[in-house]
């Protein structure tokens, strides 16, 4: 008796939001042999029109988009489509945006440039509902101070809220993520430099000085950011930090 052919696996419908036409074309052809159909749009406005039509199993969302960026779009769509898996495509080394993306509801991230086979594996993983990457806490206590990673602001023990510049924010995140470690100026540049932004070691010193002022004018021997002569800096969380 001849074997009954097995039913083909259902196609996985992916939606890619990316303004690079080469990437859209490349992935459309690459994913097809893996049983994945790729629909593509170039920006947030097109995404807002496309999602209500349904039929999307997983969303591939580029962070850097013209107009509305991927973080804003992720924040917009998550309450509306809470079960839709989202994989955020981010610039290589842009750890801060990855963390924010996860905090805003992305299920996974993949830094560019990426190997397409890895994307296939990530898509299958989020559809299986496996555990995603660890997400750091949104708020950190630094002694009596509170740092909010999403709002990008620092609150004093008296309740005074101080906004942080982009450079100050990235530097403070780098310190918080590496507590007690001696960090050279070169290493801090690697951890905190935004993609496409020129910076040097002197800019680290200036950002440290501004951060210390926002922590109440502490010097290099007290407060959370200590100077290591000839080495760089170390973040020593104050008593009561978490």
Separation between Cα atoms, residue 135 and residue 32, nearest integer Å: 32
Choosing from 70, 100, 128, the residue where a domain stops is: 128
Choosing from 107, 128, 149, the residue where a domain stops is: 128
What is the SS3 assignment for 112?
strand
The answer to whether residues 58 and 80 belong to one domain is: yes
Residue 2 lies in a domain: no
Evaluate if pTM is beyond 0.85.
no
The answer to whether residues 17 and 115 belong to one domain is: yes
CATH of the domain at 173: 1.10.10.10
Residue 6 lies in a domain: no
The answer to whether residues 50 and 149 belong to one domain is: no
The answer to whether residues 119 and 145 belong to one domain is: no
Choosing from 102, 128, 154, the residue where a domain stops is: 128
Q: Which among 215, 214, 192 is positioned nearest to 203, based on CA atoms?
A: 192
Which residue did the predictor score with more confidence, 60 or 164? Answer: 60
Domain count, the chain: 2
Residue span of the structural domain in which 227 resides: 139-235
For the stretch 81-134, pLDDT in tens is 989 999 999 875 566 666 777 777 888 888 877 778 888 988 998 998 755 554
Per DSSP, which regions of 68-224 are E strands? 86-91, 108-112, 139-142, 145-148, 153-155, 161-163
* Burial zone of 47 (CB within 10 Å; 0-12 exposed, 13-18 middle, 19+ buried): buried
Residue 241 lies in a domain: no
Residue 96 lies in a domain: yes
How is residue 226 annotated by DSSP?
Answer: E
Provide the percentage of residues in the chain whose pLDDT is more than 70: 83
Separation between Cα atoms, residue 113 and residue 90, nearest integer Å: 9
Among 7-11, 26-30, 220-224, which stretch is predicted with the lowest mean pLDDT?
7-11
- The answer to whether the beta carbons of residues 211 and 168 sit under 8 Å apart is yes
């Amino acid at each position: 008796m001849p074997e009954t052919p097995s039913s083909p696996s259902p196609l996985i419908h992916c939606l890619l939001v990316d303004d690079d036409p080469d990437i859209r074309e490349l992935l459309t052809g690459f994913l097809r042999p893996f049983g994945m159909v790729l629909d593509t749009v170039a920006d947030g406005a097109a995404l807002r029109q496309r999602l209500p039509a349904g039929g999307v199993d997983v969303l591939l969302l580029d962070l850097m988009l013209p107009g509305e960026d991927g973080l804003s779009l992720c924040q917009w769509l998550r309450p509306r489509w809470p079960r839709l898996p989202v994989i955020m495509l981010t610039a290589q080394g842009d750890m801060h945006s990855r963390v924010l993306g996860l905090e805003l509801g992305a299920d996974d991230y993949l830094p560019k440039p990426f190997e397409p086979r890895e994307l296939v594996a990530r898509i299958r993983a989020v559809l299986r509902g496996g555990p995603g990457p660890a997400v750091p806490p949104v708020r950190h206590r630094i002694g009596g101070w509170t740092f909010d990673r999403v709002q990008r602001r620092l609150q004093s023990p008296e309740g005074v809220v101080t906004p942080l510049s982009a450079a100050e924010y990235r530097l403070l995140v780098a310190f918080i993520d590496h507590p007690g470690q001696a960090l050279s100026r070169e290493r801090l540049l690697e951890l905190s430099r935004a993609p496409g932004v020129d910076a040097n070691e002197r800019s680290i010193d200036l950002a440290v000085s501004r951060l210390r002022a926002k922590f109440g004018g502490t010097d290099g021997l007290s407060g959370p950011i200590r100077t290591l002569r000839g080495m760089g800096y170390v973040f020593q969380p104050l008593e009561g930090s978490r």
